[in-house]
């Protein structure tokens, strides 16, 4: 994995919502994001799964597909993929060198101090520009782009997508997006464009009202589950999708967990609304769904070890529902939990505690990670024993020696576990 000095420099400036600088920089680059068709996916949870599902289905169609996701599990290269293969170190390093020079030229032209916290570009904006430029030069047939944070002011929101998707709305990033689901929905709905379909997954009533109003005001076609499409699981575990034109039976979902049914529904409803020269056939849809890979999401790394990137209350509820689908005798009884310091640990744990006998807290080396000790203190009184175990290098073998375990709470800690096991 590359450690480019430009990214290290920009990481100091954190997150900044707003399109002013990104719009000007992409114009300086010649608008690379407008040189190929795109699909745009927002949501609190599930958007990465929808991107990977769309990518797999469109590859089965025979298309050259770019995928941009964030954050990454183990390598920043994971964020930028073409045909399921992440960008190489040399290619990414070269792009960043080129963009660093372009940033300096742009800063002089625009009289912008590129090193100022209030101007210039952020880490995420630079990676987004790199992805857009990489896809343009590679000549992708279509790119599927995941929103980083929110939607309205996210750096990806300078696309001209054929179809948009909003997977789910829940309480996460409330400091940036608003205190309730209606406020958060309004930010996510910022990706909606007039005259384009927007496909939504199952949403809280207040969120759906907000998105429906914004779609109507902008002249966008709202595509809703149950109303415009259905996705069902048959008694044999196979999936049935009924949409505007498609009626697909006997589909197999490669991704585990009941919540992936809703994500597949969003992806297929988006794919169904593509123009004919990009739309996959039923056989290609089936092949794509059966081949989706999304590391760290209900992923069994070993017979005794399951990992999931659930990091907010809605994600924890989905993980809990998936665990309940397992036979009780096979269900792991230890939760190895690592979380970022800015997350609501108690709300997450309350959804999971009834399924476990104990929680063991840990942390990885990521700068946002909360220490195992402080995390354990925050969880006093959740109804089951909570034991701090120190860094993940110590905690993982200790927990596995006690029996089957689930690792959750942070994409960063899941990535650290995969690193420890030597997995890519």
- Residues in a beta bridge with 222: 198
Which structural domains are found in the chain, ordered by start?
5-289 (3.40.1190.10), 299-420 (3.90.190.20)
Flag whether pLDDT at 12 surpasses 80.
no
What pLDDT is recorded for position 181? 92
Flag whether pLDDT at 115 surpasses 50.
no
Dihedrals phi, psi of 275, to nearest 5 degrees: -65, 155
The overall average pLDDT reported for the chain is 92
How does residue 116 score in pLDDT terms, banded at 50, 70 and 90? very low
What pLDDT is recorded for position 214? 97
Average pLDDT over residues 85-94: 95
Q: Which residues of 56-76 are buried (b: 16+ CB within 10 A; e: fewer)?
A: bbbbbbebbbbbbbbbbbbbb
What pLDDT is recorded for position 235? 83
Model pTM?
A: 0.92
The answer to whether 290 and 60 have CB atoms below 8 angstroms apart is no
- Cα–Cα distance between 415 and 421 in angstroms, integer? 10
The answer to whether 180 and 173 have CB atoms below 8 angstroms apart is no
How does residue 117 score in pLDDT terms, banded at 50, 70 and 90? very low
Q: Using one digit for the tens of pLDDT, what is the confidence trace for 310-366? A: 999 989 999 999 999 998 888 999 999 999 998 899 999 999 999 999 999 999 998
How does residue 35 score in pLDDT terms, banded at 50, 70 and 90? very high
Flag whether pLDDT at 370 surpasses 60.
yes
What pLDDT is recorded for position 286? 97
């Amino acid at each position: 994995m590359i450690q480019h000095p430009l990214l290290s420099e920009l990481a100091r400036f954190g997150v900044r919502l707003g399109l002013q600088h990104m719009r000007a920089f992409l114009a300086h680059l010649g608008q690379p994001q407008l040189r190929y068709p795109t699909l745009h996916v927002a949501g609190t949870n599930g958007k990465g799964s929808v991107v990977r599902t769309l990518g797999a289905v469109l590859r089965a169609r025979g298309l050259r597909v770019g995928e941009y996701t964030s954050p990454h599990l183990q390598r920043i290269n994971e964020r930028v993929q073409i045909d399921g293969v992440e960008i190489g170190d040399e290619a990414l390093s070269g792009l960043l060198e080129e963009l660093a020079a372009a940033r300096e030229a742009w800063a002089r032209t625009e009289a912008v101090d590129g090193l100022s916290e209030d101007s210039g570009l952020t880490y995420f904006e630079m990676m987004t520009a790199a992805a857009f430029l990489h896809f343009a030069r590679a000549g992708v047939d279509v790119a599927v782009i995941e929103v980083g944070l929110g939607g309205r002011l996210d750096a990806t929101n300078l696309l001209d997508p054929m179809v948009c998707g909003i997977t789910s709305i829940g309480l996460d990033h409330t400091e940036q997006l608003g205190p309730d689901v209606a406020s958060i929905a309004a930010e996510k709905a910022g990706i909606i464009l007039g005259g384009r379909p927007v496909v939504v997954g199952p949403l809280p009533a207040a969120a759906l009202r907000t998105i429906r109003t914004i779609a109507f005001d902008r002249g966008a076609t709202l595509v809703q589950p149950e109303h415009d499409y259905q996705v069902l699981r048959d008694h044999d575990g196979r999936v049935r999708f009924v949409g505007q034109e498609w009626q697909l039976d006997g589909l197999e979902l490669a991704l585990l967990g009941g919540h992936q049914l809703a994500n597949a529904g969003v992806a297929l409803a988006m794919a169904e609304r593509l123009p004919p020269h990009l739309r996959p056939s039923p056989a290609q849809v089936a092949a794509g769904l059966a081949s989706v890979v999304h590391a760290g999401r209900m992923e069994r790394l070993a017979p005794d070890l399951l990992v999931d990137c659930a990091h907010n209350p809605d994600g924890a509820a989905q993980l809990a529902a998936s665990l309940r689908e397992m036979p009780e005798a096979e269900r792991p009884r230890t939760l190895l939990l690592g979380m970022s310091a800015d997350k609501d640990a108690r709300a997450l744990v309350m959804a999971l505690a009834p399924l476990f006998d104990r929680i063991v807290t840990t942390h990885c080396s990521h700068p946002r990670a909360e220490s195992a000790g402080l995390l354990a203190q925050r969880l006093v009184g959740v109804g089951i024993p909570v034991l701090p175990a120190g860094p993940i290098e110590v905690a993982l073998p200790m927990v596995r020696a006690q029996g089957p375990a689930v690792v959750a709470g942070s994409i960063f800690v899941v990535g650290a576990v995969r690193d420890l096991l030597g997995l890519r």
